[in-house]
Structure 1
Amino acid sequence: MKELKKIFSLIFIVALLSFMVACQDNEEDVASDSGDDDGTIELTVFDSDTNSDWEEMKSPVGQKIVEDTGVTLKPEFDIEGGQTKIPLMIASGEYPDMILSKGGGQLVEAEALIDLAPLIEEHAPNIKKMLGEELNRLKWSKEDPSIYVLTNAAVENQAMSPNFGAWVQHAVVKELGYPKIRTLEDLESVIREYKELHPTIDGQKTIGLSMNTDEWRIQSAFLNSGFMMTGGSDDGEYFIDPETFDATLHYRRPIEKKVFEWYNKMNAEGLLDSETFVQKHDQYTAKLASGRVLATIGPDYLMYEGQSALREAGMEERMYGQYPVTLNEDYVSHAYHSNGLQAGWGISITKDCKDPVRAIKFLDYLASEETQIMLNWGIEGEHYEIVDGKRVIPEEEREKRNNDKDYLKKTGIGYNFLRYVPHWGDGVVDSTGQTITVNTREEAIKNQTDIEKEVLAAYDVELWKDLYPAMEEFPVKAWGAAYNISIPASSDLKVLNQRALDVTKKLVPEAVLTSPDQFDEIWSKFMTNLEKNNIEKAEEEYTQLIKDRVELWNN
Structure 2
Amino acid sequence: MKRGFRRFWSTCMACLTVFCLVSAGFAADNLTPVKLTVFLGRPSQQPTPDNKIFKKIEQEFGVTFEFDILAGDLDQKLGVLIAGGDYPDMMTGDTKLIDAGAFIPLEDLIEQYAPNLKKHYEKAWYLMKYNDGHVYVLPNYGVFQGDYRYNESYGPAFWIQKAVLKEFGYPKVKTLDQYFDLIQQYKEKYPTIDGQETIGFEILSEGWRNFCLKNAPQHLVGNPNEGGVIVKDGVAKIFAGTDIDKRYFKKLNEVNQLGLIDRESFVLSYDQYLAKLTSGRVLGMFDQRWNFQRAEESLKTQEKILRTYAPCPVVYDESIKDYYLDRPPVNVNRGFGISVNAKDPVRIIKLLDALYDERWQKLLYWGVEGDDYLVNEQGRFYRTPEQRVQYDDPAWKQANTGLDFAAYSPKMEGTFSDGNATSPGMQPEEYYESLKPEDKELLNAYGYKTYGEFFSTPPENPMHYPAWSIPIEDGSPAKIASLKLDDLANKYLPKAILAQPAEFDTIWAEYVVEIGKVDVKAYEDVVNAGIQERIKNAQAQ
TM-score bin, normalised by smaller chain: 0.7 to 0.9
Cα shift at 1:367: 1.6
The alignment status of 1:267 with 2:256, answered yes or no, reads: yes
Q: Which has the larger radius of gyration?
A: 1
Whether the 8 Å contact between 2:61 and 2:351 is mirrored in structure 1 is yes
Matched to 1:423, the amino acid is K
Cα shift at 1:339: 5.2
Matched to 2:167, the amino acid is E
Question: 5 Å matches for 1:261-410?
Answer: 261-338=250-327, 340-388=329-377, 389-402=379-392, 404-410=393-399
Aligned-partner Cα distance in 2 for 1:88–1:203 = 42
The alignment status of 1:417 with 2:402, answered yes or no, reads: no
Check 1:33–1:74 CA distance in 2 against 1; reply closer, same or farther (3 A cut). Answer: farther
Check 1:316–1:137 CA distance in 2 against 1; reply closer, same or farther (3 A cut). Answer: closer
Aligned to 2:230: 239
Aligned to 2:16: none
Q: Secondary structure at the match of 1:165?
A: strand
Aligned-partner Cα distance in 2 for 1:334–1:82 = 29
Cα shift at 1:60: 0.7
Question: 5 Å matches for 1:27-66?
Answer: 37-47=30-40, 49-55=41-47, 58-66=50-58
Match of 1:435 among 421, 431, 442: 421
Aligned to 2:208: 216
Aligned to 2:462: 477
Aligned to 1:12: none
CA-to-partner distance for each residue in 1:429-481, whole Å, 9 max, x for gaps? 2121211211122222112221221122121212221121113xx23121132
Aligned to 2:119: 129
Check 1:178–1:433 CA distance in 2 against 1; reply closer, same or farther (3 A cut). Answer: closer
Aligned-partner Cα distance in 2 for 1:77–1:253 = 39
Whether the 8 Å contact between 1:323 and 1:464 is mirrored in structure 2 is no
Give the stretch that moved more between structures: 495-504 or 162-171.
Answer: 162-171
Matched to 2:417, the amino acid is S
Check 1:549–1:103 CA distance in 2 against 1; reply closer, same or farther (3 A cut). Answer: farther
Cα shift at 1:182: 0.8
Aligned to 1:457: 444
Check 1:35–1:77 CA distance in 2 against 1; reply closer, same or farther (3 A cut). Answer: farther
Aligned to 2:135: 147
Cα shift at 1:138: 2.1
Aligned-partner Cα distance in 2 for 1:351–1:264 = 49
Question: 5 Å matches for 1:42-191?
Answer: 42-47=35-40, 49-55=41-47, 58-78=50-70, 83=75, 95-103=87-95, 107=98, 110=101, 112-141=102-131, 144-156=132-144, 158-162=149-153, 163-191=155-183
Matched to 1:155, the amino acid is V
Matched to 1:239, the amino acid is I
Whether the 8 Å contact between 1:161 and 1:300 is mirrored in structure 2 is no
Aligned-partner Cα distance in 1 for 2:304–2:137 = 43
Aligned-partner Cα distance in 2 for 1:95–1:199 = 49
Cα shift at 1:65: 1.3
Cα shift at 1:175: 2.4
Give the stretch that moved more between structures: 475-484 or 282-291.
Answer: 282-291
Matched to 2:421, the amino acid is T
Aligned-partner Cα distance in 2 for 1:554–1:33 = 38
CA-to-partner distance for each residue in 1:253-294, whole Å, 9 max, x for gaps? 421211111111100111222222223334433333333322
Matched to 1:319, the amino acid is T
TM-score after normalising by structure 1: 0.85
Cα shift at 1:126: 1.6
Aligned-partner Cα distance in 2 for 1:448–1:355 = 44
Whether the 8 Å contact between 2:230 and 2:236 is mirrored in structure 1 is yes
Aligned to 2:192: 200
Cα shift at 1:512: 0.5
Whether the 8 Å contact between 1:178 and 1:458 is mirrored in structure 2 is yes
Q: Secondary structure at the match of 1:150?
A: coil
Whether the 8 Å contact between 2:164 and 2:186 is mirrored in structure 1 is yes
Whether the 8 Å contact between 1:53 and 1:408 is mirrored in structure 2 is no
Cα shift at 1:489: 4.5
Whether the 8 Å contact between 2:321 and 2:456 is mirrored in structure 1 is yes
Whether the 8 Å contact between 2:229 and 2:238 is mirrored in structure 1 is yes
Check 1:484–1:34 CA distance in 2 against 1; reply closer, same or farther (3 A cut). Answer: farther
TM-score after normalising by structure 2: 0.87
Cα shift at 1:394: 2.3
Match of 2:507 among 484, 498, 522: 522
CA-to-partner distance for each residue in 1:74-118, whole Å, 9 max, x for gaps? 3334457764565665666664333322226x63674x5433222
Whether the 8 Å contact between 1:324 and 1:332 is mirrored in structure 2 is no
CA-to-partner distance for each residue in 1:467-524, whole Å, 9 max, x for gaps? 21113xx231211322222223462322221121111111101100101121111111
Whether the 8 Å contact between 2:142 and 2:328 is mirrored in structure 1 is no
Match of 1:448 among 435, 445, 448: 435
Aligned-partner Cα distance in 2 for 1:263–1:113 = 42
Aligned-partner Cα distance in 1 for 2:298–2:275 = 9
Whether the 8 Å contact between 2:124 and 2:143 is mirrored in structure 1 is no
Check 1:407–1:236 CA distance in 2 against 1; reply closer, same or farther (3 A cut). Answer: farther
Whether the 8 Å contact between 1:214 and 1:279 is mirrored in structure 2 is yes
Q: What root-mean-square deviation, in Å, do the aligned CA atoms of Structure 1 and Structure 2 show?
A: 2.8
Whether the 8 Å contact between 1:98 and 1:347 is mirrored in structure 2 is yes
CA-to-partner distance for each residue in 1:188-245, whole Å, 9 max, x for gaps? 22122222222333433322222333443332x222222222222222222222x1x3
CA-to-partner distance for each residue in 1:372-420, whole Å, 9 max, x for gaps? 1111111223212233233222221111123x23333222242x22233
Cα shift at 1:28: 13
The alignment status of 1:230 with 2:221, answered yes or no, reads: yes
Aligned to 1:249: 238
CA-to-partner distance for each residue in 1:37-84, whole Å, 9 max, x for gaps? 12111223344x124133166411111111121122333344577645
Check 1:191–1:146 CA distance in 2 against 1; reply closer, same or farther (3 A cut). Answer: closer
